[in-house]
Structure 1
Amino acid sequence: MKFIADITIKGPETPIEYRDPIFLIGSCFTEHIGNKLQDLKFNIVQNPHGILFDPISVCNSLNSYIERSHYNDDHLILLNELWQSWSHHSKFSGTNKAEVLRLINESQDRANAHLKTARWLIITLGSAFSYRLVDSESPVANCHRAPSQWFRKHMCTIDEIVTALDNTLYRLFHFNPDLKIIFTISPVRHLRDGVIDNNRSKARLLESVHHLVNKFNRLYYFPAYELVIDVLRDYRFYDIDLAHPNYQATEFVLDAFRKHYISGPSQDIMEQIQQIVNARRHKPFQPQTQAHRQFLHNFAVKAHQLQQEHPYLLLQDEIEFFKAS
């Protein structure tokens, strides 16, 4: 008897290697993937604008990295005692305007440099809903808890989504001819939109993305959404809010990503690095014992040897930690 539906996942002909720079952008589920890759010492940059949900905000942000756009005083507003940008997540907000601009523009420079050399771009779309300022009709990436009457909520049509992404893709391929792109749709359910409108929103994203994947030969679709919604298909795989996939669901999705999108040799390295990362996080009951000192020495040697074999790995912090401890 089968308890889980089968799903076919088609990975790229040339999968991700450890030495490949990776750029990630999009919804909060982007950061589940990005944080895991970062923990395992892949060379990544993720969400230089902070978390973004809708395709218009994602495209505007990517275009700004291509252009290496810099922000100035005119791009900030003073709201709730903080300087904020309509284009950025609130993690950039602050009481010091100059500091906010410095952080934003440094992030722009890092994004431009990394996107120029990236081999992979992972785009995770969360919602087809876009919020527009009533006064100007300008789309915003984050409402920063401003009064709701300041905004108009708009569900993007499939044509709008495809046009915005299509234009950005052409610019990306001109900017970085070696770039390959993986699209995912976030399995996070936007219940504030209501169950029906959440499903309509996800459907528009799915249709738009598959239209583009069928158009370009270096676009891929990883079914994070289907793995949670159709394969796991149970509320026990969601957090208490019934909207966000829980740890088990996230690990299930990440394991499928690893199997189908990362090369075999790189998967072997991932397992070795996971052991080193776990060893660094280990909290000993008796840190002064000879056994613990030997434990640290063994992992210092292991990390050093792995770094020597693969110089592109970023293991210096772990090596220094084991030696210092």
Structure 2
Amino acid sequence: MKVISGEDAYRSLRSNKTFRWANHKPDTPPAPSRTRKLALLPRLDPRFTFGAEDRLFTIGSCFARHVESELEKYGYRFRTRARENQVEPDECTSPNGFFNKFTTASMLNEVLWALTEERFPEVAYTEVNGRWTDGQLPASFATLERAREIRARVQDILGDIRQSQFLVLTLGLVESWFDTEAGIYLNTAPTAGHISKYPGRFEVHVLDYVENLRHLEKIRETVKAANPDLRLVVTVSPVPLGATFTGQDITVANNYSKSTLRAVAGDFCSRHTDAEYFPSYEAVTESAPPAAWMEDAIHVRIELVRCVIAHFMKHYGPPSLADRIDPEAVLAALRASMPEAG
């Protein structure tokens, strides 16, 4: 529990221009809500910043891949985006999408296999209709040898955490499939073919607050053992669930998922001075929907992602980069990209 004295509470309120959804005086009509703005970029008060030569490593869902893409424009490099590490179109829906990690359980698996003596269990490789998967990667392969090759590549690249100064974790969802034979959580849902071929082997676990927080704490413990000076930035992906296996309306399942992960991320970062919460989730979900979402209402428009990362770099980046960022120019580009502008 965080405790704030009454004096500090009112001191904070007086100095915080964003303490309300909209600022107005009691005797005047209500001011427009901040959420009516094209892009709502939350106020930030960073405890640390990146150096120009610092190395960043990201783990997370497809939104994390967008973050990498935008950070590359500021000079940061990621092996996950190198051409030699991409896979073929028949193996994954995007060239580097096989790096995506959607649950805290799968993220924990990967750092344990990359940074400790624990090893990926051979029994976790499964075959259906001539295609091989390992359950941790959103991809499938024509041979077991190819699946092993990509598994080794992922673990090698995750070893870059040892030489990084910052680890960015993007939490995605709480519905996690469990492989009872391998004794591990999976990253993606097994196909209907897997359920038929391996009856009774797979289960859905809806991970609650306690379980997700335990996984996040274990991730921190593992990466800090390998790299004591590492600092963490934790975000929650704004991308909603694509489907739910719980039988609930997806709006209900998605709100539980994001609410749980947002609470976990906030409490985790409050516990540790080497961890910082970055509100990319709030920046997207509280922005004007036409500016935030593509037509499928699932994926975030890249123009808004650019606004969010520019906001991130303006506050967390080195002065040599931050001073070159014009927030108004980025917002103008977002505005110009809107369908109405065409």
Whether the TM-score (by the shorter chain) exceeds 0.5 is yes
**Corresponding residue for residue 82 of structure 1:** 131
Q: Which AA in structure 2 matches 1:142?
A: T
Q: Work out the number of aligned pairs and report it.
A: 266
What is the DSSP-based 3-state SS (H/G/I as helix, E as strand, rest coil) of the residue aligned with 2:225?
A: helix
What is the DSSP-based 3-state SS (H/G/I as helix, E as strand, rest coil) of the residue aligned with 1:192?
A: coil
* In the alignment, structure 1 residue 184 sits paired with structure 2 residue 235: yes
Q: Is the 8 A contact 1:89 1:141 kept in 2?
A: yes
CA drift at 1:162: 0.9
Partner Cα distance (2:224, 2:268) in 1: 14
For residue 100 of structure 1, the aligned residue among 131, 135, 147 is: 147
CA drift at 1:50: 1.5
Answer 1 or 2: which has greater helix percent: 1
Q: Which AA in structure 1 matches 2:311?
A: A
User: Which range is displaced more, 43-52 or 193-202?
Assistant: 43-52
Q: Which AA in structure 1 matches 2:301?
A: N
* In the alignment, structure 1 residue 26 sits paired with structure 2 residue 72: no
* In the alignment, structure 1 residue 205 sits paired with structure 2 residue 256: no
Q: Is the 8 A contact 2:175 2:207 kept in 1?
A: yes
User: Can you give the 5+ residue segments of structure 1 that lack an aligned partner in the other structure?
Assistant: 272-325
Closer, same or farther: CA 68–137 of 1 in aligned 2, 3 Å:
closer
TM-score with structure 2 length normalisation?
0.70
For residue 51 of structure 1, the aligned residue among 80, 85, 100 is: 100
Closer, same or farther: CA 69–104 of 1 in aligned 2, 3 Å:
farther
Partner Cα distance (2:253, 2:194) in 1: 19
Partner Cα distance (1:89, 1:19) in 2: 32
Closer, same or farther: CA 67–154 of 1 in aligned 2, 3 Å:
same
Q: Is the 8 A contact 1:121 1:182 kept in 2?
A: yes
Partner Cα distance (1:270, 1:248) in 2: 15
Closer, same or farther: CA 269–43 of 1 in aligned 2, 3 Å:
farther
Closer, same or farther: CA 111–36 of 1 in aligned 2, 3 Å:
same
Q: Is the 8 A contact 1:48 1:107 kept in 2?
A: no
**Corresponding residue for residue 335 of structure 2:** none
The CA RMSD over aligned residues, in Å, is 2.6
**Corresponding residue for residue 247 of structure 1:** 302
Identity %: 21
Q: Is the 8 A contact 2:50 2:318 kept in 1?
A: yes
For residue 171 of structure 2, the aligned residue among 121, 125, 139 is: 125
**Corresponding residue for residue 155 of structure 1:** 206
User: Which range is displaced more, 197-206 or 97-106?
Assistant: 97-106
For residue 158 of structure 2, the aligned residue among 89, 92, 111 is: 111
**Corresponding residue for residue 141 of structure 1:** 187
TM-score with structure 1 length normalisation?
0.74
Q: Is the 8 A contact 2:291 2:304 kept in 1?
A: no
